Homo-oligomer: A and B are copies of this chain.
Amino acid sequence: MAISTLSPPDLAVVKSTILCGPMSEDTLHSVLAGSTLNLYERNDCLFEAQEPASKLYLVLDGWVKLSREESDGSNTLIAAFTKGDSIAEAAAVLGEPYPATAQAMSNVRALVIEGTRFLENMQSSKEVLGAGLAAIYRQLHSLVDEVELLKSRTIRQRLIVFLLKTSEATSGPSSLRLPYDKSLIAAKIGTSPENLSRTFAELREFGVTVKGREAMIADIEDLRALLRR
């Protein structure tokens, strides 16, 4: 798709991404030629694990989960992506199997870019090579963060980290909307829905109240201090 056919808000998202943000208008035009704007409904698959990767995805709106199906039928959530995130860059340019399944957790709009075309652009342009590597480096970095969080933090601490990341406030009180439902938040932090409810209840005495998807934090700094205990 041509840049000119993207709506101004979508174009603004594209230009805010690690993958496309640093590119000049000409380069962006070349990278996006042949891409499509896809719409997904909740539960639609963007791609499935093991399928050879041919496309990379730039999320313009909504939430996408990356998860793995176990042989016993259970499902493990690996990561969640939203507006401005890119997905599967490395797999798509290499044509390797997708390492997990990507599924829409809400209505999703995503720009879908051909991996082979992106690779050609990486080969011919230092700008695209740098941007592609930077996006992949960010994925690596956030997976390293995730492994650290899972190994070194309790469930309560992981929930606090999740709330602090979701809130945009850095101090004082904050009201926020949970980005997806509680069963997914439980999966994200690696616990059961029952244990998540218990942990939310424990956090009440530290000023965290939740009603449906709305959460209220009495004092961000108090909550952050809990991480150090």
Contacts and interface: CB of A to CB of B under 8 A. Distances in A.
Contact of A147 (B70, B90, B146): B146
Given A70-B152, A143-B144, 17 more contacts: A68-B148, A68-B152, A72-B228, A76-B148, A76-B152, A78-B144, A78-B147, A78-B148, A90-B133, A90-B136, A90-B140, A94-B134, A94-B137, A99-B140, A123-B129, A136-B140, A146-B147
Contacts of A139: 140
Nearest to A96: B137
Nearest to A141: B99
Contact of A151 (B77, B122, B137, B143): B77
A190 interface: yes
Interface of A: 68, 70-72, 74, 76-79, 90-91, 93-94, 96, 99-100, 119, 122-123, 126, 129-130, 133-134, 136-137, 139-141, 143-148, 150-152, 187, 190, 228
